[in-house]
């Protein structure tokens, strides 16, 4: 005997499917966040493991290109590899990497000594007596 599909039954099925989809979305979101955190940590480790050049020296081109490629990949990964433009990702990544490299290469600014207010000139007794 075949079961009749009623609106009530269909509605219950739809709610079950909807709940399962929400569960799956939450699981996927947690996995994406974990993957992103791991990728960021790997990138930080790679950046820290490479010795940054002293101020006034140039950065190895291959090293810089690798940093840009990794950063562009992370940008695309953050948006779930959906939409976007790889050239735009590369340009953004290039700006970020250049900024980081410039910050690391810039010499530390020396601290200026605290300025003291100028001492008031004392009037000499002779000048006040002369008046």
Q: Which of 96, 60, 61, 59 is nearest to 75 (CA)?
A: 96
Residue 1 pLDDT class (50, 70, 90 cuts)? very low
- Domain edges within the chain: 13-105
What number of CA atoms fall less than 13 Å from residue 86's CA on the CB side?
A: 3
Please check whether residue 92 is in contact with residue 75, taking contact to mean a CB–CB distance below 8 angstroms.
Answer: yes
Number of CB atoms found within 10 A of residue 65's CB: 13
Percent of the chain with pLDDT over 70: 69
Q: What is the pLDDT of residues 83-120, one digit of tens each?
A: 888 899 999 999 999 998 888 877 666 666 666 666 55
Please check whether residue 66 is in contact with residue 94, taking contact to mean a CB–CB distance below 8 angstroms.
Answer: no
Give the pTM: 0.41
pLDDT at 53 over 70: no
pLDDT mean over 40-58:
69
């Amino acid at each position: 005997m075949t079961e009749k599909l009623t609106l009530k039954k269909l509605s219950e099925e739809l709610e079950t499917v909807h709940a399962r989809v929400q569960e799956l979305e939450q699981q996927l979101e947690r996995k994406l966040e974990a993957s992103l955190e791991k990728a960021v940590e790997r990138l930080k480790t790679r950046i820290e493991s490479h010795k940054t050049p002293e101020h006034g020296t140039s950065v190895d081109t291959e090293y810089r290109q690798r940093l840009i490629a990794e950063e562009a990949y992370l940008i695309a990964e953050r948006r779930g590899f959906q939409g976007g433009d790889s050239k735009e990702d590369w340009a953004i990544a290039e700006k970020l990497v250049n900024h980081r490299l410039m910050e690391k290469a810039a010499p530390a600014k020396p601290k200026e000594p605290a300025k003291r207010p100028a001492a008031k000139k004392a009037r000499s007794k002779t000048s006040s007596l002369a008046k």
